[in-house]
């Protein structure tokens, strides 16, 4: 029987690690797959078939979804039990200075929030998602078992989405006749079991990356099947930013396997991300950049959300140190009804459509710096420890692609610290997966 240590290491694990693992309690494979599979399904879609004709979606609410809370609480208890059985000490490598300092700052900003109770309540869901993401690599016995679990979850999501389009089109296809939030340009676009075509597009990008991993680690047939089904659905959803970014997300991590220099790897992965941010945010806040790009790209925001970015930046300037608090800005009565009528359409949005601006709103500029240190710089260092000689194994490559998808997509959508977003959940899994693989490889020597 394969050891759980096999998930973290390539090749034969050291005898000390194997002995320590066997000394712990055992969890049957069926339960491992069921628990992680349920977590992945909840990450990807925990509220299927949203009814956009329900007038409740037009109301301001800070209560959250009871269904979501119950689902994640149940999964949280199940994961806690599994980690207790397998050994909570396996999570010790996650106690790095960047993550500990960031967690401390987040705790402080909960207390300085403009609405502390709301921030604490909304933070609890993120804390549960974080625990689930950290526990998944520990629960999985091997990379092959992980790939099998992901394949099952992906096929369930894809099958449900296609069946919804076929038999429940009013709940699975954007329509001016049913959608109360009328977006004429989305007429006829698929959303499947997701609430919006952009949410569906992000999930399909995750399916494609998952299919590539399954093809390399488990089964070429099932992996390619997942990729093709997800690609067709992504085209029908017409999520333009995801479609544009996906080739880079797939190819850049693969190119890192051809070089050894950490600086060159960083340039390959983060250079294009920085350029996208320069073309988008930079063109809004720096007139010389805007003037230089205007003739080439008339809409450098790519999403037509320039006013939202300016609105978000102006409110970061009001509370630059501690921010407004976790979940205490967008979707609250203070934001929706506390500004002029000229900006009423801006205040109705649920996010800044830029991860980095939203982090500044949540935790201030110090929180943004800490986030970059913990979630951008540290994973690059972990990559170098895992694969210093060039070639990158399938699991590490999968985590790297998930990580890059969130960073690149963050220029157009808010994904970090958004526990209801599939990309955020998988990003946390990727960061913790890279950290654990780097730590156990160091022990392996």
Residue 418 has pLDDT above 50, yes or no: yes
* Residue (of 99, 381, 356, 374) closest to 266 by Cα position: 381
Cα–Cα distance, 248 to 254 (Å, whole number): 10
Rounded to the nearest 10 degrees, the angle between the axes of helix 116-139 and helix 29-44 is: 140
Per-residue pLDDT tens digits for 274-320: 888 877 777 677 666 666 555 555 554 454 567 788 888 888 999 99
Give the mean model confidence (pLDDT) for residues 436-440. 89
Percent helix, strand and coil across the chain, each rounded to 5?
70, 0, 30
Cα–Cα distance, 352 to 415 (Å, whole number): 10
Residue 109 and residue 363 in contact, taking contact as beta carbons nearer than 8 Å: yes
298 to 272, 304, 376, 404: CA distances (angstroms): 20, 10, 30, 27
pLDDT grade for 362, boundaries at 50, 70 and 90 = very high
pLDDT at 16: 47
Q: Hey, what are 28's tokens?
A: 């049957």
Would you say how long the chain is, in residues?
Answer: 445
Signed CA dihedral, 132, 112, 358, 320: sign only:
negative
Cα–Cα distance, 243 to 143 (Å, whole number): 28
* Residue (of 170, 177, 173) closest to 190 by Cα position: 173
Q: Hey, what are 106's tokens?
A: 């987040």
Q: Strand (E) positions, 191-307?
A: none
Residue 400 has pLDDT above 50, yes or no: yes
Per-residue pLDDT tens digits for 250-275: 999 999 988 888 899 999 999 988 88
pLDDT at 383: 93
Highest mean pLDDT among 36-50, 140-154, 427-441: 140-154
Vertex 374: Cα angle to 372 and 380 (nearest 5): 85
Q: pTM for this one? A: 0.90
Cα–Cα distance, 428 to 236 (Å, whole number): 28
More confident residue, 18 or 130: 130
Vertex 254: Cα angle to 207 and 251 (nearest 5): 65
């Amino acid at each position: 029987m394969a050891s759980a240590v096999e998930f973290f290491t390539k090749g034969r694990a050291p005898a000390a690690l194997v002995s320590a693992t066997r000394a712990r309690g055992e969890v049957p494979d069926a339960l491992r797959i069921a628990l992680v599979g349920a977590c992945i399904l909840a990450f990807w879609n925990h509220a299927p078939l949203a009814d956009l004709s329900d007038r409740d979606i037009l109301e301001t609410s800070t209560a959250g979804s009871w269904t979501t809370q119950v689902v994640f609480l149940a999964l949280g208890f199940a994961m806690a039990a599994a980690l207790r059985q397998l050994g909570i000490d396996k999570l010790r490598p996650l106690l790095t200075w960047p993550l500990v300092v960031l967690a401390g700052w987040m705790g402080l900003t909960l207390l300085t929030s403009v609405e502390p109770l709301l921030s604490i309540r909304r933070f609890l869901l993120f804390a549960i998602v974080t625990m689930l993401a950290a526990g998944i690599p520990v629960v999985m016995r091997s990379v092959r078992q992980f790939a099998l679990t992901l394949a099952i979850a992906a096929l369930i999501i894809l099958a449900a989405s296609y069946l919804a389009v076929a038999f429940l089109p009013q709940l699975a296809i954007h329509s001016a006749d049913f959608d109360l939030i009328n977006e004429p340009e989305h007429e006829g676009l698929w959303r499947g079991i997701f609430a919006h075509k952009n949410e569906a597009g992000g999930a399909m990008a995750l399916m494609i990356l998952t299919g590539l991993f399954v093809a390399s680690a488990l089964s070429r047939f099932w992996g390619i099947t997942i990729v093709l089904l997800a690609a067709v659905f992504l085209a029908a959803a017409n999520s333009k930013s995801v479609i544009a970014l996906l080739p880079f997300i797939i190819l850049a991590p693969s190119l890192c396997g051809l070089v050894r220099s950490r600086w060159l790897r960083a340039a390959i992965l983060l250079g294009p991300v920085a350029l996208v941010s320069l073309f988008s945010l930079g063109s809004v806040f720096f007139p010389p950049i805007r003037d230089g790009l205007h003739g080439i790209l008339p809409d450098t925001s790519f999403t037509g959300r320039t006013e939202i970015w300016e609105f978000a930046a102006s409110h970061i300037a009001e509370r630059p140190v501690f921010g407004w608090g976790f979940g205490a800005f967008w979707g609250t009565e203070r934001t929706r009804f506390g500004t002029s009528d000229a900006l009423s359409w801006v205040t109705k949005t649920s996010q800044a459509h830029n991860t980095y601006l939203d982090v500044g709103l949540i935790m201030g500029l110090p929180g943004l710096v800490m986030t970059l240190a913990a979630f951008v710089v540290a994973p690059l260092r972990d990559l170098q420890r895992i694969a210093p000689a060039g070639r990158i194994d399938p699991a590490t490559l999968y985590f790297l692609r998930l990580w890059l998808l969130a960073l690149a997509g963050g220029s157009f959508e808010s994904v970090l610290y958004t526990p209801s977003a599939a990309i955020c959940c998988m990003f946390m899994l990727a960061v913790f997966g890279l950290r654990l693989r780097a730590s156990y490889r160091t022990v392996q020597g």
